[in-house]
């Protein structure tokens, strides 16, 4: 979607370790927006994004520079029949991963993962990559796309890179710039709660309520306006009563700080 930060640039670095060339897709996807979400206000910083990518190439020029290409299509190219943010008015072909898209984030943004799956499937068909790198921060997106790759038999490997964080643990996000200084100081409380839950899990605790309780405790200390805290199955995203010894679980949540909505997650007992 653009507005690249160091988390995005780390995805590029991960891709460069897997391949001898990298294509970075930058596209503000209208299908991911609902009518009440202001598509027009989403930041579009293509020139600055390209400058950041050029600096990556310059930084690696002392070794063997990895070619980086930018794929920045127009809306007309990606949606030749047009696209509306009103789902009932949309025409054309769409991809929807049923059973996963409705969970967690899908509860408040039912349109979102349909838009993601559709545009990413188009991207895969156009670019035909060997590897596709996504960030763990958007864990539900990773789960949805993993299922789509399996179901539609895409010949590629989906790579999930760890979440990039600031020194205090806050996950890097384009939305962090909207936080006041006080909100920015409070925001890492959710990560601290997840770390406490991880430590409990590693000491032998698998019970849902015990793990979520410590996250809630830290969130309360940070005065976070919690939207949800989840312990879910990596396969179905359904809520679980305990962390499975076989498949593990995803600890995740969303919260608001003023008008800014943040998300984060931690993997317990498994890795992508």
> Active-site residue numbers?
8
Residue 265 tokens, joined: 């997650």
- CA-based torsion, 43, 44, 50, 53: positive or negative: positive
Tokens of 159: 């790579």
Please check whether residue 176 is in contact with residue 184, taking contact to mean a CB–CB distance below 8 angstroms.
yes
DSSP H helix total and E strand total for the chain:
8, 7
Tokens of 87: 């789902």
Residue pair 30/39 in contact by the 8 Å Cβ criterion: yes
Question: Could you give the CA distance from residue 146 to residue 100 in angstroms, rounded to a whole number?
Answer: 11
Tell me how far apart the alpha carbons of residues 54 and 196 are, in angstroms, rounded to a whole number: 39
Question: Tokens for 187?
Answer: 């925001």
Residue 180, CA distances (Å) to 2, 4, 38, 150, 223 in order: 22, 20, 21, 42, 14
Residue written as token pair 């790579």: 159
**How far apart are the C-alpha atoms of 257 and 272, rounded to whole Å?**
30
């Amino acid at each position: 979607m653009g507005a690249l930060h160091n988390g995005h640039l780390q995805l590029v670095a991960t891709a460069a370790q897997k391949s001898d060339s990298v294509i970075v897709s930058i596209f503000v996807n209208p299908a991911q927006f609902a009518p009440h979400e202001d598509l027009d206000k989403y930041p579009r910083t293509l020139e600055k994004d390209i400058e950041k990518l050029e600096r990556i190439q310059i930084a690696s020029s002392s070794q063997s520079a990895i070619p980086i290409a930018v794929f920045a299509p127009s809306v007309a190219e990606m949606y030749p029949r047009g696209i509306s943010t009103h789902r009932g008015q949309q025409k054309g072909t769409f991809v929807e991963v049923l059973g996963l898209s409705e969970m967690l984030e899908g509860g408040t943004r039912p349109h979102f993962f349909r838009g993601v799956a559709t545009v990413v499937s188009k991207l895969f068909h156009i670019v035909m990559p060997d590897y596709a790198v996504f960030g763990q921060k958007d864990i539900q997106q990773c789960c949805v796309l993993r299922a789509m790759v399996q179901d539609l038999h895409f010949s590629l490997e989906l790579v999930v890179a760890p979440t990039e964080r600031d020194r205090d643990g806050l996950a890097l996000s384009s939305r962090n710039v909207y936080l006041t200084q006080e909100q920015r100081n409070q925001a890492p409380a959710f990560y601290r709660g997840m770390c406490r839950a991880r430590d409990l899990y590693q000491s032998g605790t698998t019970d849902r309520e015990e793990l979520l309780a410590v996250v809630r405790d830290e969130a309360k200390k940070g005065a976070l306006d919690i939207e949800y805290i989840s312990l879910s199955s990596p396969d179905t995203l359904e809520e679980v009563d305990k962390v499975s010894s076989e498949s593990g679980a995803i600890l995740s949540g969303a919260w608001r700080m003023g008008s800014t909505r943040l998300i984060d997650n931690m993997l317990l007992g498994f890795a992508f």
